[in-house]
Amino acid sequence: MLFPTLAFGVFFLFVYFTSWSLDRENGRRKLFLLLASWFFYAQWDWRFVALLIASAVLNWGVAALIAHSDEAGRRKLLVGLGVAANLLVLGIFKYYGFFVEQAGELLARFGWERDLPLLEIVLPVGISFFTFQGISYVVDVHRGKTPPAKSLLDVMLLMSFFPHLVAGPIVRASDLLPQFDRVPRLTREMAAHGFLLIGWGLFKKTVIASELATRLVDPVFFDPSAYGALDLAAAVYAYAVQIYCDFSAYSDMAIGIAALLGYSFPRNFDQPYRAKSMQDFWRRWHISLSSWLRDYLYVPLGGGRKGLVRSCLNVFITMLLGGLWHGAAWTFIAWGALHGGVQVVERLGRAAFQNRSVIPTWIGVLVTFHIVCLGWILFRSETFPMAMEMLAGLGRFEPATMVTPFLLTLIVGGLAMHWLPPRAVEGFATWLKPAPSLTMGLLIGAAILLVEAVRPDGVAPFIYFQF
């Protein structure tokens, strides 16, 4: 059940009205939201609802044991076991096939060919997101940053809450558990913000991302050898816009839907292509993941506390594993290595120039954007040879055959939205807040009608569903 579908619209209307009708009793309301979230998840594969429940029970149990334990060594052992159990679940479902295949190839290279047990494992949607949420909950309880949840219901809802379940943002226990303590308050500002985010996300996903994907990106990346440099470059820029509009649209809609149910999610994107360095890019792109990697991987590795060389190594390892998190393929690892490598160069440069800014901001933005685009070639290509073919084709000058004025407008428009005022949607929501319900309803209806009138039939799954 994808967000921009009629089925989800009907589902959401039912959930919205029922959940607010249960606002007298918070426990019942949470139970209803949990059942609705399981129903939502079961639309992909009902069998994985059991996995979701098992994961929540595991994390709740480990956190409860940590909270009731006074001995430091025992607490450390428990948190280690909890993290390992979460990673085991992720490893089996997401990385088992990849590692077995690599091991088989390695053995064959040394002349020890073996029939390793390859399993056809279906990847549960959103497993990377709910597993990371589980890890952060257990670690935060161990660190004393968040108290253990008051009930199993809270942990289950934290991990299963349908707006963020399948593609984030990664909402931490410290953000959401306190909101579960009482029936939330829905203010007009929250509601206006939610409506606008849903409408804006709908436009970005179903118009910009879908049109660019079907008319330019998918055909060119499918057979790069058939196109010249102009088409290939346009496809790379188009993919940069597509993945931003696709993923940020999901986050916007998730935040908007949660807001209409009374819950507040953290911001996940902040005009990432305005970044003037790679470090700045990761402060603006998929913020919930980058802050997760910082707190639960980079800092435990030592962060920047152990000197320049060690901090460079730590940031490189973090980005490499961040790449692997996106998918079990060498292209993702190379993508992570590229981002890590550039950040290492930036750190060394800052150390050499003693943090003085020696590059004008606009050059920094331009260079960062093109390095990010280079990374998107690795990210989007199915295999390394295809990525290399794309890169080689960028030197082959032939007339453009795929780029139309319409597609160019979408690419330019998708990039130009990064230069809107930083909090444009929030500002617009504050401005619209005093409007009567009739005006607001007609406005929202007209905006959705416009999007519905121009969107292609059907809707492709969000890119980040596969992660």
Partner 1 sequence: MSDRPDDPDIPLAPLPTTLPPSPFPPLQDEATPYLDDPEPSPTQPAEPPFTDPPSDWIQTADAHDLPTAPGPEPVNPLLALGRFAFPPGEPPDEEGLAARDRRWTSRVIVIATVFLLTFNIASVQNWVRQQEPGWVTTTVSRLSEVWSEQMALLGAERPREAVREAYENARDSDWRSGDSTTADGS
Question: Of the candidates 16, 46, 222, 353, which one interacts with partner 1 according to CB under 8 A?
Answer: 16
Q: Which C-beta is closer to partner 1: that of 133 or that of 206? A: 206
230 or 373: CB nearest partner 1 = 230
Q: Is 413 in the site for partner 1 (CB under 8 A)?
A: no
Contact 221, 235 (CB under 8 A): yes
CA separation for the pair 268, 106 (Å, rounded): 39
Asked if 438 touches partner 1 (CB under 8 A), the answer is yes
Nearer residue to partner 1 within complex by CB, 349 or 461: 461
Considering only residues 102, 151, 225, 404, which one is a binding residue for partner 1 as defined by CB under 8 A? 404
Contact yes or no for 239/380 (Cβ under 8 A): yes
CB of 9 to partner 1, least distance (A): 8
Nearer CB in complex with partner 1: 13/35: 13
Of residues 229 and 444, the one with the C-beta less far from partner 1: 444
Closest contact distance (angstroms) between CB of 318 and partner 1 is 41
Are 137 and 146 in contact, with CB atoms under 8 Å apart?
yes
Residues ≥6 apart with Cβ < 8 Å to 119: 96, 97
Structure tokens at 246: 């696709």
CA distance from start to end of the chain: 17
By CB under 8 A, tell whether 355 contacts partner 1: no
Rg (CA), the chain: 23
Q: Which of 326, 339, 370, 418 is catalytic?
A: 326
Cα 290 → chain centroid? 10
Q: Could you say which of 44, 450, 460, 465 contacts partner 1 (CB under 8 A)?
A: 450
360-366 long-range contacts, Cβ below 8 Å, gap at least 24? 361/276, 364/276, 364/277, 365/273, 365/274, 365/275, 365/276
Distance in Å, CB of 407 to partner 1, minimum: 9
d(CA 308, CA 348): 8
**Cβ atoms within 10 Å, residue 441:** 12
DSSP state of 402: S
- Report, in Å, the least distance between residue 443 CB and partner 1: 8
H helices present in 381-463, as ranges = 384-393, 405-416, 424-432, 437-454
| Nearest residue (CB) to partner 1, 20 versus 95 | 20
Find out whether 82 and 62 touch, Cβ atoms under 8 Å: yes
Q: Which of residues 295-324 bind partner 1 (CB under 8 A)?
A: none
Minimum CB distance to partner 1, residue 409 (Å): 8
Is residue 142 part of the annotated active site? The answer reads no
x/- site string to partner 1, residues 169 to 198, per CB under 8 A? ----------------xxxx--x---x---
From residue 369, give the alpha-carbon distance in Å to each of 209, 237, 260, 363, 453: 18, 10, 34, 10, 33
Number of residues that bind partner 1 (CB under 8 A): 35
Question: What is the footprint of partner 1 within residues 195-224 (CB under 8 A)?
Answer: 195, 211
Choose, by CB under 8 A, the member of 46, 222, 384, 406 that binds partner 1: 406
Residue 2 binds partner 1, judged by CB under 8 A: no
Angle, helices 152-160/127-143, rounded to nearest 10 degrees: 140
Rule CB under 8 A: is residue 260 a binding residue for partner 1? yes
Instruction: Rule CB under 8 A: say whether 442 interacts with partner 1.
Output: yes
Binding site for partner 1 (CB under 8 A): 5-7, 13, 16-17, 20, 23, 185-188, 191, 195, 211, 260, 404-406, 437-438, 440-442, 444-446, 448-450, 452-454, 457-458
What amino acid positions are annotated as catalytic residues? 326
